[in-house]
């Protein structure tokens, strides 16, 4: 995908054209589009970016709304002891986006706060374009503290977060209105933007049915504690009364706090989880609501490495805009699959050896694990039994690559990184293991395609979907994962990859499940994965092909967007 931002005309034209048709407005607190725009922290943002890219490819009438996050998330440095250091990311929106002259306002703490918007067009080679509005409160006349509202992604305290959500939801809806765009649906990607429902209630004079018809809500969080909640006192103080408090409580929950997920659930006609398993979990969490599922996907072209792009171009031309074609992977000779993989592996191993002095090689079985460093992702599970790991490594050598940032306030996540550094030291003489700094989209695009096995060991049921395994599959990298999120649908044991632990239908306690998980983790490594990799290369390549032909052809954001269109947007 070519992203163009040369000149005002190219930027403005799509927006002008947008006036002619009714748009789907897609709201997301974070959007991960390209490495140069650091307005994302992880999977949620990358999913939003992939949603937008596929929409542009498919020429869907979408306009996206997000916050500018002028100071980005953060750049991660890790000391030799494994301590995470956080640095500001400097980027200059004016170099890649166009400032629009239209402004709007929201009321925060009884003050009028002005909001401006930067326009960035995602341009597809198909000719489709999706404009993104990056909202920015750094407007002259705003108080210094108000200017900072759109500075830090997931920064500050809950007051700061509420202000951000007012700007995103209410400010975003008003900005669309001020630009004269006509909106046919409002799609909330997670509950951060659900205050927009209040703006719509106000606009349509409390016509609840009308508002519900307009709203679509995608939930991403499978635990109660993960949903944003604000005390009604705080809401009254910061936001005032957009709608009468009694009405707000009716939709946002009668307990003392406004639950952003409930607000969206109550005022959206279509609600979905991001995998079938996640739908079941969400229904249990919120009984009484009709919750559908549209399983996530990734933007195939973005996440396919150069060598596989060339291979697919040769054997399945048109695959990037029609990823279903990947089902025909069987027509590619095995040697060429292996060759493309070794090319991606070389790129990664060269990078690892350049960034560290570990001295990894191209032929050793390489495991990868990279994602946000946070408790439920259990980055440390593989190290539960170090002696066992050493013993397994004697059956066939392994090397392991880790990466991932911890949220600056997630002390557990930071300790997890330190813990991994400890294991790396302890195993130094036996197994080569590195933890790469500053995991972002650029590193993900290099890391995931370059390993042989992609490992994922989340604590069930906390992985709502997960998407990095889909990126792996697009590159013939075989998944070895806990049966949670998308993998419950993607895993055919021994065909598309391997499962770690029990199927969700088995009702086990967390402790019982963990025993099974560790058994699978170590036994499958020792008795299946290592022997297959080193002694049955044909079988290995068949599984690589099945990852492409049975996973990638389906778990892509083109299929996902077609589902949103037919099930939610139309």
- The residues of the shown chain that bind ligand PLP, judged by CB under 6 A, are 42-43, 46, 371, 439-441, 444, 466-468, 471
Nearer residue to ligand PLP within complex by CB, 185 or 471:
471
Q: In angstroms, what is the minimal distance from the CB of 445 to ligand PLP?
A: 7
Nearer residue to ligand PLP within complex by CB, 259 or 468:
468
Nearer residue to ligand PLP within complex by CB, 29 or 444:
444
- Rounded Cα distance between 418 and 398, Å, is 22
Tokens 């025909």 belong to residue: 328
- Rounded Cα distance between 70 and 153, Å, is 8
- The crossing angle, in degrees rounded to 10, of helices 334-355 and 441-450 is 130
Contact present, 134 and 110 (Cβ < 8 Å): no
- The crossing angle, in degrees rounded to 10, of helices 245-252 and 196-203 is 130
Q: In angstroms, what is the minimal distance from the CB of 438 to ligand PLP?
A: 10
Nearer residue to ligand PLP within complex by CB, 189 or 266:
189
Q: In angstroms, what is the minimal distance from the CB of 466 to ligand PLP?
A: 4
Contact present, 307 and 548 (Cβ < 8 Å): no
Instruction: Give the three-state DSSP class for 97.
Output: coil
Contact present, 431 and 393 (Cβ < 8 Å): yes
Q: In angstroms, what is the minimal distance from the CB of 294 to ligand PLP?
A: 16
Q: In angstroms, what is the minimal distance from the CB of 229 to ligand PLP?
A: 23
Q: In angstroms, what is the minimal distance from the CB of 411 to ligand PLP?
A: 20
545: Cβ contacts below 8 Å, ≥ 6 apart: 329, 330, 332, 334, 337, 476
Nearer residue to ligand PLP within complex by CB, 14 or 466:
466
Q: In angstroms, what is the minimal distance from the CB of 434 to ligand PLP?
A: 17
Nearer residue to ligand PLP within complex by CB, 46 or 106:
46
- Rounded Cα distance between 273 and 296, Å, is 9
Nearer residue to ligand PLP within complex by CB, 259 or 282:
282
Contact present, 536 and 279 (Cβ < 8 Å): no
Q: In the structure encoding, which two tokens stand for residue 469, read together?
A: 């395994």
Q: In angstroms, what is the minimal distance from the CB of 474 to ligand PLP?
A: 11
Give phi and psi for 403, each to the nearest 5.
-165, 160
Q: In angstroms, what is the minimal distance from the CB of 461 to ligand PLP?
A: 14
Nearer residue to ligand PLP within complex by CB, 55 or 557:
557
293: β partners: 273
Q: In angstroms, what is the minimal distance from the CB of 492 to ligand PLP?
A: 20
Tokens 């054997």 belong to residue: 315
Contact present, 251 and 197 (Cβ < 8 Å): yes
Nearer residue to ligand PLP within complex by CB, 43 or 413:
43
Nearer residue to ligand PLP within complex by CB, 34 or 208:
34
SS (H, E, C) 292-306: EECCCCECHHHHCCH
* Of residues 135, 155, 136, the one with CA closest to residue 147: 136
Tokens 């392991």 belong to residue: 400
- Rounded Cα distance between 328 and 129, Å, is 29
284 class by beta-carbon count within 10 Å (0-12 exposed, 13-18 middle, 19+ buried): exposed
């Amino acid at each position: 995908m070519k992203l163009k931002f040369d000149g005002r005309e190219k930027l403005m034209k799509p927006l002008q054209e947008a006036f002619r048709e009714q748009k789907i407005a897609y709201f997301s607190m974070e959007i991960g589009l390209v490495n140069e725009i650091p307005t994302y922290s992880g999977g949620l943002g990358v999913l939003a970016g992939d949603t937008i890219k596929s929409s542009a490819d498919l020429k869907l009438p979408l306009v996206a709304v997000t916050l500018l996050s002028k100071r980005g998330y953060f750049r991660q440095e890790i000391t030799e002891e494994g301590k995470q250091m956080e640095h500001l990311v400097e980027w200059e929106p004016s170099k890649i986006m166009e400032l629009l002259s239209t402004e709007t306002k929201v009321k925060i703490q009884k003050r009028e706060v002005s909001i401006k918007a930067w326009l960035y067009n995602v341009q597809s080679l198909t000719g489709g374009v999706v404009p993104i509005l990056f909202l920015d409160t750094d407007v002259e006349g705003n108080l210094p503290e108000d200017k900072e509202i759109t500075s830090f992604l997931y920064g500050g305290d809950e007051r700061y977060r509420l202000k951000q959500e007012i700007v995103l939801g209410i400010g975003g809806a008003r900005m669309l209105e001020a630009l004269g765009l006509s909106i046919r649906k409002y799609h909330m990607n997670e509950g951060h933007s659900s205050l927009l429902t209040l703006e719509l209630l106000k606009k349509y004079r409390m016509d609840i049915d009308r508002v519900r018809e307009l709203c679509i809500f995608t939930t991403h969080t499978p635990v109660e504690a993960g949903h944003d909640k604000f005390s009604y006192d705080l809401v009254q103080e910061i936001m005032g009364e957009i709608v009468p408090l009694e009405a707000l409580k009716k939709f946002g929950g009668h307990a003392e706090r406004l639950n952003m997920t409930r607000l969206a659930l109550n005022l959206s006609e279509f609600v979905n989880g991001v995998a079938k398993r996640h739908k079941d979990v969400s229904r249990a969490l919120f009984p009484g609501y009709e919750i559908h599922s549209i399983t996530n996907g990734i933007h195939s072209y973005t996440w396919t490495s150069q060598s596989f792009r060339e291979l697919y171009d040769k054997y399945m031309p048109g695959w990037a805009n029609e990823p279903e074609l990947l089902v025909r992977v069987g027509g590619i000779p095995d040697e060429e699959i292996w060759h493309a993989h070794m090319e991606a592996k070389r790129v990664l191993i060269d990078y690892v050896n350049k960034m560290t002095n570990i001295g990894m090689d191209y032929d050793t079985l390489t495991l990868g694990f990279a994602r946000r460093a946070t408790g439920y992702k259990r980055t440390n599970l593989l190290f539960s039994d170090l002696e066992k790991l050493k013993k397994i490594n004697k059956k066939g050598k392994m090397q392991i690559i880790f990466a991932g940032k911890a949220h600056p306030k997630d002390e557990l996540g930071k300790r997890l990184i330190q813990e991994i550094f400890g294991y790396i030291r302890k195993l130094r003489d036996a197994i080569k293991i590195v933890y790469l700094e500053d995991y972002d989209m650029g590193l993900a695009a290099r890391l995931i395609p370059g390993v042989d096995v992609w490992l994922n060991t989340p604590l069930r049921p906390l992985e709502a979907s997960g998407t990095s395994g889909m990126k792996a599959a697009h590159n013939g990298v075989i998944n070895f994962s806990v049966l949670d999120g998308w993998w419950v649908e993607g895993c055919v044991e021994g065909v598309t990859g391997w499962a770690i632990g029990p199927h969700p239908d088995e009702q086990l306690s967390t402790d019982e499940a963990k025993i099974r998980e560790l058994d699978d983790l170590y036994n499958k490594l020792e008795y299946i994965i290592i022997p297959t990799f080193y002694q049955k290369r044909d079988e290995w390549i068949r599984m690589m092909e099945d990852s492409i032909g049975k996973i990638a052809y389906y778990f892509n954001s083109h299929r996902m967007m077609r589902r949103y269109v037919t099930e939610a947007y139309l």
